[in-house]
Amino acid sequence: MKQAFHITQDSFRYLFKKYYQPLCAFARQFVSVRDVCEDTVQDAFASLWDVRGGFKEEKAVKYYLYNSVRNKCLNVIRHNKVKEKHLNELALPTVDEGVIEEGVFAPIYKALLDLSPQECKVMLGVMHGHTNQDIADDLGVSINTVKTLRQRAYKTLREKLKGIQWLLLILFG
Amino acid sequence: MAAKTDNETIIELINKQINGELTSEEQVVLEDWLKNPANQMLYDRLTDKRLILKKRFEYDEYNVDKAWQKVNKRISPKLNIRRWISYAAAIILPLALFYVVYQLSEVPQSNTSPMAESIQPGQRKAVLVLSDGQQVELSAADTTIQTHAINIQIDSLGAHYEGGAGNNEQRYNTIQTSRGMEYSLKLADGTKVWLNSESSLRYPENFTGNTREVYASGEVYLEVTKNKEKPFYVHFNDKRIKVLGTEFNVRAYPDETEDLVTLVEGSVALSAANDEVVLKPNEQATCRANKAIKVNTVNTTLYTAWKEGRFVYRDAPLEQIVNDLARWYDVEIFYQNKGMKQERFSLNTNRRANIQLILEALELTETVQFKVSGRNIVIQSVN
């Protein structure tokens, strides 16, 4: 009758794989220590497992997780604050911002995964306006390697990312 | 102020903008959204190519597979170690000495101790998450929240849902408390709910449909409105309580080895994976992983005192008392001597008391010592 998103072992795993990294990145905007962020997100998922009924759709679960992580992070900050400064919660991201960031960034990240870390580093170098020599020195490889990596990256992106044209512009540039 | 544009729409527009696919009408909507400087800042961040590449590396720092292993272990029912502990406990208990703290009918509430000044008892607070994801911080201030179908009145007694008619959609809200918080609310059917610290309840704004279903975690006390036509179900962990009209307490904290359901009045049927019991008033069901549900007759006051603003324990293990204190006062506990966990104490105090006074009362038994440093409490034996 009513559509519902049932959280089972399988769907829970799916949610975890999909949202773990974005949620950690979201938490990192509150707390700078990586381990604490990861623990917080893991706690949020564990809580989700406890109250796992009644979600209409995946979107509702996503909001639940973002809210849960945000609350836990605020708690961490309140706990550890030395000065009141940190508690200006207006300066900290809202759930809406986290959700928007995840929505915009997810397809891009997925596409970028097709680039090797080296190719990514080359692109970063290009965008910073470094010369091929600079990049080569930075990565500890030869200039030719850098040129090859650039070409490969361009080829991958052109094949895999039809829409993200500005990435191609960078590579051209 | 223009109506808030849907997050999903914004995501779509930004993605189209990046790909150069934005129509002129869509352009207008996006520009309107960007008028808000906070949104503009977010947009600049999301379209900063350098930041995006950096994000890729940041994501790699978070090892999903390793984290999954950890979480998977946490949520799976725990196995044999529990059994071993229960046998060990059975041996230790008869040998343990039972200490009884003299009944403190009222612990004075003045905060005289400088050490415990930063530690405050819990407050009436919670976070309400609406069905659209919006969150609202709830405290005692009088306000009304309006959602699509319903009005939610907030005042010093809690939140009251005024039932909206007709709307067939079941929208779920969640109330959450952290450490140091408690809250109470009244659902659309008149059911009253009390939440202790670190607890949450997911429930529909409006009870349409043939059943009333809510989902709980932590510790909640419910006074369910009688309705024979619409049985009330409380889900916690992978268990379920069926209720027709009754008052009972559910204690299901993720970090505790047992879940407790205590029935004050009425009748409930509790189903777990392989087991089902029906409780009568003053009975308590204890659920442990991989074990049959145990039913005992108990003094329900001990398990519902928190709702009346008191800590009441009779021969309770220190671990239980201290865990409740930790959640309510939002402190961290460390055991210098793990054997202390099973020492038994009795206590009867007001929850709003200065924690120092409660610790001192326990220390009067000359069995235990507490060292307080900031928000940390170290438990030592007296030797």
pLDDT digits (tens, 9 = 90+) for B202-232: 999 888 888 899 999 999 999 998 888 888 9
- The predicted structure's pLDDT at residue B80: 47
Kindly identify which residue of chain A lies nearest to residue B43, measuring between CA atoms.
Answer: A101
Best of B7, B16, B331, B332 to substitute, by most chain A Cβ atoms within 10 angstroms, is: B7
> Which part of chain B is CATH 2.60.120.1440?
123-302
Provide the mean pLDDT of chain B: 81
pLDDT at residue A160 in the model: 65
Q: Which residue has the higher pLDDT, B283 or B365?
A: B283
3-state secondary structure of B166: coil
AA identity, residue A32: S
| CB B275 within 8 Å of CB B293 | yes
Contact B10 A59 (CB under 8 A): no
pLDDT of residue B258 exceeding 80: yes
Which of A45, A52, A67 is closest, CB to CB, to B71? A45
- Residues of B numbered 123-142 whose beta carbons fall under 8 angstroms of chain A's beta carbons: which are they? 127, 129, 131-133, 135
In the predicted model, what is the mean pLDDT of residues B344-366?
Answer: 85
pLDDT band per the 50, 70, 90 thresholds, residue B90: very low
Comparing CB atoms, the residue among B11, B46, B129 nearest residue A67 is: B129
Chain B residue with CA closest to A106: the answer is B56
What value does the mean pLDDT take over residues B53-67?
85
Closest CA to B98 of B300, B297, B314, B299: B314
User: Which of B74, B202, B217 shows the shortest C-beta gap to A54?
Assistant: B202
The Cα of A144 is separated from the nearest Cα of chain B by a number of Å equal to 23
Residue that the structure tokens 């959640």 belong to: B327
- Do B200 and A51 make contact, defined as CB atoms within 8 angstroms? yes
A73: nearest CA partner in chain B: B178
| Cα distances (angstroms) measured from residue B338 to each of B102, B322, B334 | 25, 13, 9
Residue range B111-119+303-381, CATH number: 3.55.50.30
Quick one: pLDDT at residue B194? 93
User: pLDDT category, B91, cuts 50, 70, 90?
Assistant: very low
Please report where in the chains the tokens 């696919």 appear, as a residue.
Answer: B21
B262 pLDDT higher than 90: yes
- Distance between B312 CA and the closest CA of chain A, angstroms: 27
Average confidence (pLDDT) over B24-53? 86
CATH 3.55.50.30 in chain B, residue ranges:
111-119+303-381
Does the structure show a pLDDT above 60 at B315?
A: yes
Distance CA B206, CA B189 (A): 8
pLDDT of residue B208: 84
Quickly state the pLDDT bin for B237 (edges 50, 70, 90): confident
Nearest CA to B251 out of B306, B178, B298, B209 is that of B306
Predicted pLDDT of residue B99: 35
Q: What is the pLDDT of residue B232?
A: 92
Residue B107 pLDDT grade (very low, low, confident, very high; cuts 50, 70, 90): very low
How many angstroms separate the CA atoms of B314 and B367, rounded? 16
pLDDT tier at B380, thresholds 50, 70, 90? confident
Q: What is the pLDDT of residue A81?
A: 60
Cβ-Cβ contacts under 8 Å, B120 against chain A? none
What is the pLDDT confidence band of residue B167, given thresholds at 50, 70 and 90? Answer: low
pTM of the model: 0.50
Q: Tens place of pLDDT for every residue, chain A, 173 residues?
A: 456 788 888 899 999 999 999 999 999 988 888 899 999 999 999 989 888 777 888 998 999 999 999 999 888 887 776 444 444 555 678 899 999 999 888 877 777 777 888 888 887 777 667 888 888 988 888 999 999 988 888 787 777 665 555 555 554 44
Total CB pairs under 8 A between chain A and B: 169
Chain B residue whose CA is closest to A171: B49
Report domain B123-302's class. mainly beta
- Categorize the per-residue pLDDT at B263 as very low, low, confident or very high, splitting at 50, 70 and 90: very high
pLDDT band at B116 (very low <50, low <70, confident <90, very high): very low
3-state secondary structure of B187: coil
